[in-house]
Amino acid sequence: MLKSQHAIDMLVWNTFQNDARVKNEAETLARAGYRVTVHALHAPGYTEKRELLPSGVEVIRHGCSQGLRLLKPRKHTAKRNHIELFALLVGRLLTHLAMIGSLVRRRSTVIHAHDVNVLPTAWLASKLSGARLVYDAHEISSGREGYRKIGRLVSCIEGAIMPKAAGNITTTDARAKFFARAYRMPRPLVLQNRPRLVKVEDNDRIRCELDLKESFPIVLYQGGLQPGRGLERLVKSAKRVAGAYFVFVGSGSIEVDLKTLVKSLGLESRVFFIPTVPLQELPHYTVSADIGVQPIENTCLNHFTTDSNKLFEYVIAKLPIVASDLPEISRVVKRHDLGLLVRSGDEDELVTALIHLVESSKLRQRYSINAEKASKTLSWEEQEQELVALYNSVISGEHS
């Protein structure tokens, strides 16, 4: 049977506007000849209900309130009254049911669940439709910040479904080892969170947008502003690293706290925030910085086993890196000599490393040259055929 006769339906619990990993996977499979549809959340006024991407990937969005809640987070669940909680749960349930109904009607060959919050939905839809199930664990959700109270439930769900799935994928070797041991199953395929190798000309996007007057190097953090990522420590470090601008590109739950901290430390002239930018625009911001920083803290197993999108995005943009010395991160940085590693959670080491790079243009140039070399092997294109091979075997029945 021709690949074009095989439909692949991917399921995500986001609006699919800035999900680089899912977009890369969907487009890779579409280019390999499969018919790919991504099912996501709809946020009226922000997203289209249905979309056809230039790559041929179709996007169908479901629900309304769930997508809006993600784009405009409301007050913490603990502060909601019983009526609000009930409405929230009913809204989520109805959205999941809408996704299941759509998946069953489409009778796809494979249903691909991205992360545990859609895994039960995808599993049920696969059972009702006869589709094969592929699970892509972007995180170790049973050991993740914000999931502590439901860690056991997550383990039960994954432990019951992952060993029976037609195919499993995750993001790092350490996570693959964890899943294999925890659920007594073969190791999932590892596809790192690498971006496509997009060549972007050097520019002054950040400097011009923020109207930065001094010629100070720009230290960039891009990604979610969430707890456990060392961002408060990074702001405090800025106080001790003279002659540098610090720029955060992204949004998240601690954004207000970080801005308050910046103000209390009197750093408004050197620390800046740029809201989340469209995925296609992000490389233009990244390449306009001088140093990429990833100060993530070892607060949970998920952080300990991460390497993250931003590490590879910095490499593609030829930025020298300052990052936490955690196993998967250090493996990449040391192998390619990309920058300086610091002990996770150690502000003094972070400050020292930043000062070294800020004060030495020669050292920055060395790491930048190494990053340009490494980018040829640390891009999405260098691993995407492994995804195609997995799908070919899943559809042929070799993984069943």
353-364 pLDDT, tens per residue?
Answer: 999 999 999 999
Asked if residue 200 belongs to a domain, the reply is no
How confident is the model at residue 87, as a pLDDT?
73
Count Cβ atoms below 10 Å from residue 322 Cβ, excluding itself.
29
- 252 & 339 share domain: yes
How confident is the model at residue 76, as a pLDDT?
46
Among 79, 68, 73, 75, which residue's Cα sits nearest to residue 45?
68
Asked if residue 199 belongs to a domain, the reply is no
> How far is it, in rounded angstroms, from Cα 239 to Cα 133?
50
CB 275 within 8 A of CB 216: no
Residue 15 has pLDDT above 80, yes or no: yes
- 15 & 151 share domain: yes
**Mean pLDDT of the region 361-368:** 98
> How far is it, in rounded angstroms, from Cα 66 to Cα 95?
8
Residue 75 has pLDDT above 60, yes or no: no
**Mean pLDDT of the region 337-361:** 98
H-type alpha helices, 43-172:
65-71, 82-106, 119-129, 151-161
What's the whole-number average pLDDT of the chain?
93
Residue 327 has pLDDT above 80, yes or no: yes
- 155 & 18 share domain: yes
- pLDDT band of residue 77 (cuts 50, 70, 90) is very low
- 326 & 298 share domain: yes
> How far is it, in rounded angstroms, from Cα 169 to Cα 119?
13
- pLDDT band of residue 343 (cuts 50, 70, 90) is very high
**Mean pLDDT of the region 299-324:** 96
> Strand 339-342 relative to strand 271-274: parallel, antiparallel, unpaired?
unpaired
> How far is it, in rounded angstroms, from Cα 61 to Cα 184?
35
Q: Give burial (CB, 10 Å; 0-12/13-18/19+) of 200.
A: middle
Dig out the tokens for 24 from the structure: 């890369």
- 134 & 210 share domain: no
CB 358 within 8 A of CB 241: yes
Dig out the tokens for 203 from the structure: 């520019």
CB 354 within 8 A of CB 293: yes
- 220 & 180 share domain: no
**Mean pLDDT of the region 71-93:** 67
More confident residue, 400 or 30: 30
> How far is it, in rounded angstroms, from Cα 90 to Cα 40?
18
Number of domains in the chain: 2
- Measured in degrees and rounded to the nearest 5, phi and psi for residue 338 equal -100, -10
| CATH classification of the domain holding 318 | 3.40.50.2000
Range of the domain at 52: 3-191+383-396
- 181 & 239 share domain: no
**Mean pLDDT of the region 181-199:** 96
Please state which of the ranges 52-61, 65-74, 296-305, 388-397 shows the lowest mean pLDDT.
Answer: 65-74
- 249 & 176 share domain: no
- 176 & 214 share domain: no
How confident is the model at residue 4, as a pLDDT?
65
**Mean pLDDT of the region 183-203:** 95
pTM over 0.75: yes
Asked if residue 66 belongs to a domain, the reply is yes
Residue 187 has pLDDT above 60, yes or no: yes
> How far is it, in rounded angstroms, from Cα 133 to Cα 136?
10
Q: Which residues of the chain form beta strands (DSSP E)?
A: 7-11, 35-41, 50-52, 58-62, 110-114, 132-137, 167-170, 189-190, 218-222, 245-249, 271-274, 291-294, 321-324, 339-342
How confident is the model at residue 63, as a pLDDT?
86
Asked if residue 50 belongs to a domain, the reply is yes
Asked if residue 122 belongs to a domain, the reply is yes
**Mean pLDDT of the region 107-131:** 96
- pLDDT band of residue 83 (cuts 50, 70, 90) is confident
Asked if residue 137 belongs to a domain, the reply is yes
Asked if residue 196 belongs to a domain, the reply is no
- 32 & 61 share domain: yes
Asked if residue 54 belongs to a domain, the reply is yes
Q: Give burial (CB, 10 Å; 0-12/13-18/19+) of 73.
A: exposed
Residue 335 has pLDDT above 70, yes or no: yes
- pLDDT band of residue 70 (cuts 50, 70, 90) is confident
- 33 & 139 share domain: yes
pLDDT (tens digit, 9 = 90+) per residue, 38-54?
999 999 989 999 999 99
- 121 & 159 share domain: yes
